[in-house]
């Protein structure tokens, strides 16, 4: 679009529309066909991270003589940082200051018409709980 502004008036000089080969809903659908190894890796981590967190949560809830168990339970479910991959374009994004429950997932920003973005977060609480349990800090 080309706009000419003269004085207080704006006039459209040119307007161009380019057709796409298919509907946005079909172009941006969630599919596992033709993806890169990075996209498969992030998808695998996005599935594994919440499973790991819930496993550690169960372990935490069964631990006897644990001070502030409720606080650990909340911390175990929280993921920090965010690594995401766009399912349509393969574009990678990283957000270091992000907090999410659970630690992974897939979202679309524009309903059925936008691309799916698969994200994974570091399950820091779960890792720290297992580390502290292994070295006997409790």
What's the token pair of residue 128?
């720290």
pLDDT at res. 73: 94
Q: What is the DSSP letter of 62?
A: H
Categorize the per-residue pLDDT at 138 as very low, low, confident or very high, splitting at 50, 70 and 90: low
DSSP string for 7-50 = TTEEEEEE------SS-HHHHT----TT--HHHHHHHHHHHHHH
> Between residues 112 and 17, which one has the greater pLDDT?
17
β strands within 70-133, DSSP E: 79-86, 92-100, 104-108, 116-122
pLDDT in tens, 7-60: 888 899 898 999 988 888 888 888 888 889 999 999 999 999 999 999 999 999
User: HSE-up of 37 (CA within 13 Å, CB side)?
Assistant: 0
The Cα 76–Cα 52 span in angstroms is 10
pLDDT at res. 97: 93
Categorize the per-residue pLDDT at 84 as very low, low, confident or very high, splitting at 50, 70 and 90: very high
pLDDT at res. 54: 95
pLDDT in tens, 69-81: 899 999 999 999 9
Residue 73: what are its φ and ψ, rounded to 5°? -60, -40
State the average pLDDT over residues 75-90: 93
Query: What does pLDDT average to over the chain?
Result: 90
pTM for this model (two decimals): 0.77
Percent of the chain past pLDDT 70, that is, above it, reads 99
pLDDT at res. 120: 96
- The full set of domain ranges for the chain reads 24-134
Element (H, E) at 125: helix 124-134
The Cα 99–Cα 133 span in angstroms is 24
What's the token pair of residue 90?
């393969």
């Amino acid at each position: 679009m080309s706009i000419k502004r003269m004085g207080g008036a704006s006039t459209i000089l040119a307007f161009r529309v380019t057709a796409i080969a298919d509907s946005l809903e079909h172009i941006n659908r969630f599919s596992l066909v033709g993806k890169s190894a990075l996209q498969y890796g992030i998808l695998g981590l996005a599935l594994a991270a919440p499973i790991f967190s819930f496993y550690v949560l169960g372990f935490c809830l069964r631990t006897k003589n644990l001070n502030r168990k409720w606080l650990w339970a909340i911390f175990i479910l929280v993921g920090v940082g965010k690594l995401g991959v766009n399912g349509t374009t393969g574009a990678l994004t990283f957000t270091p200051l992000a907090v999410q429950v659970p630690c992974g997932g897939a979202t679309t920003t524009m309903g059925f018409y936008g691309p799916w973005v698969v994200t994974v977060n570091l399950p820091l609480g779960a890792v720290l709980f297992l580390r502290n349990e292994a070295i006997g800090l409790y």
